[in-house]
Amino acid sequence: TSLWYVRFNVPANASVLNGSCSDPDQWIQITWKTNENSMINNTMTLVYHENATTKNYGLKSLNLTLTPDNFVNGSKDPIELYHGSEWVTPLATSYRCKSATQLNLTSESLSAVAVLTLSRLQEEAYRTTAGSGFSAARDCGGGDVPDAVPIAVGCALGGLVVVVLIAYLVGRRYSASRGYLSM
């Protein structure tokens, strides 16, 4: 067996080849050439699935077809790689990940494996509003954990206010019982 290491970027001028906005799955297929002389295009298909019960959608699968032009001494056949389900985000929001996210890809026909690194990614499926921009973004790894920090700080400050108030009232009562009068 031989081991290949290939690094390439999906160009900014990659075009949408096809797509579907049907329920419950939506998909988009992006295509680009490895170089100007390529006869076959590379394609990446992103399939999303909606869960109407939880009001979420997520990446169901990612299929990547790479032309032999991407590899030194590659075969004449394209290499097809696959990644299963991944991130989930609420409906009416977009998914955004500025940091690098790695997806492990496998091939059913070959003993090929790959790692796909996505950077500065923002995507949205199941959009119901018109407009050219993305909806409010849910950041990767964002979950609900960051909301716990402001809640914990607020509870701690509220507890501190209660402790200070109790200390003030106890001190005032103690002073009044000793016969001291305030002027």
Domains of the chain, by residue range, sit at 15-139, 144-183
- The closest alpha carbon to 59, from 114, 138, 113, 133, belongs to 138
pLDDT tens for each residue of 87-136: 899 998 999 988 888 888 888 776 677 888 888 888 999 988 888 889 88
- pTM for this prediction: 0.68
Cα–Cα dist 146/141, whole Å: 10
Q: What is the CA radius of gyration of the chain?
A: 28
Question: What separation in angstroms does the CA of 120 have from each of 99, 139, 163?
Answer: 6, 11, 46
pLDDT tens for each residue of 73-97: 666 778 888 888 888 999 989 999 8
Give 97's strand partners.
121
Q: Which CATH number fits domain 15-139: 3.40.800.20, 3.30.70.240, 2.40.160.110, 2.30.40.10?
A: 2.40.160.110
Contact criterion met (CB below 8 Å) for 81 and 109: no
